[in-house]
Amino acid sequence: MFKLVPAYIFLIVFFPGTNWVTGQSVKTVVTSPNAQTAGTDHTDEMPVLFTDNFEGGSSKWEIIDDQSWKLEDHGAGKSLSIIQRKSEYEPKVRSPRHIALIKDIEAADFVIKFKVKSTKDTGNHRDCCVFFGYQNPTNYYYVHLGAKPDPHSGQIMIVKDAPRLALTKNEKKTPWDDSWHNVKLVRDSQKGTIEIYFDDMKNPHMSVKDTTFGKGRIGLGSFDDMNAFDEVEVRGK
């Protein structure tokens, strides 16, 4: 009997308001510059605070030592890039030298997604950094995505009026090569959780709990290495 059910029955059942690939209601499908990372993650439901693909320049960023940063053409558009390892910026305590902070935004709970390419292989400490909870130049968190972890590389760090200190004892390498990679950082200030994802958007590369800093500024950069950044999106509140 079932094989006699006409095809139009299925059309009525499946088409109205439904994405037939995922089974999700169409209104919940998120489109973003990082569409491959969008999913059922609850952080995708927070309002978009900021996006930048750098096609219009770098005016949305406060760049500390702009001599070491430049807008670059990567063949499929522009990126904001660190173009030399050295920096004129001398931090008061030992901490990253290449810092670009998003202007006019502070968040306590947020997710930042971006694309990054490491443009010079400097060995074990080859890194990019994500800054957040930034209060001032000597009080903030950052994630150091270092190639080979040790107490000063490949860890979630805190700068608190003293040289940076690792909050994690990570042992996972960051698999840098000459390609673009996807990074996501999720901060929940109530739970105190910090999660950093590298390419695998389901399983954190590192995570930790800390509540020292709440609302603060957010940025990108490196301890002393060279990277290109693109397709930045921040959702939060």
Q: CA separation (Å) from 114 to 79, 96, 100, 173, 196?
A: 11, 19, 14, 19, 12
Q: How far is the CB of 115 from Ca ion (least distance, A)?
A: 9
Q: How many residues sit close enough to Ca ion to count as binding (CB under 5 A)?
A: 5
Q: Among the candidate windows 78-86, 99-107, 122-130, 136-144, which touches Ca ion by CB under 5 A? A: 78-86
User: Please, are residues 133 and 214 in contact by the beta-carbon 8 Å criterion?
Assistant: yes
Taking alpha carbons only, the member of 44, 36, 32, 144 closest to residue 95 is 144
Site for Ca ion in 1-60 (CB under 5 A): 53-54
140 counts as binding Ca ion under rule CB under 5 A: no
Taking alpha carbons only, the member of 166, 159, 165 closest to residue 91 is 159
C-beta of 58 vs 170, nearer to Ca ion = 58
C-beta of 54 vs 141, nearer to Ca ion = 54
Residue 209 CA from chain centroid, whole number:
18
Site for Ca ion in 195-234 (CB under 5 A): 230
C-beta of 78 vs 235, nearer to Ca ion = 78
User: Please, are residues 135 and 215 in contact by the beta-carbon 8 Å criterion?
Assistant: no
Which residues contact Ca ion by CB under 5 A? Answer: 53-54, 77-78, 230
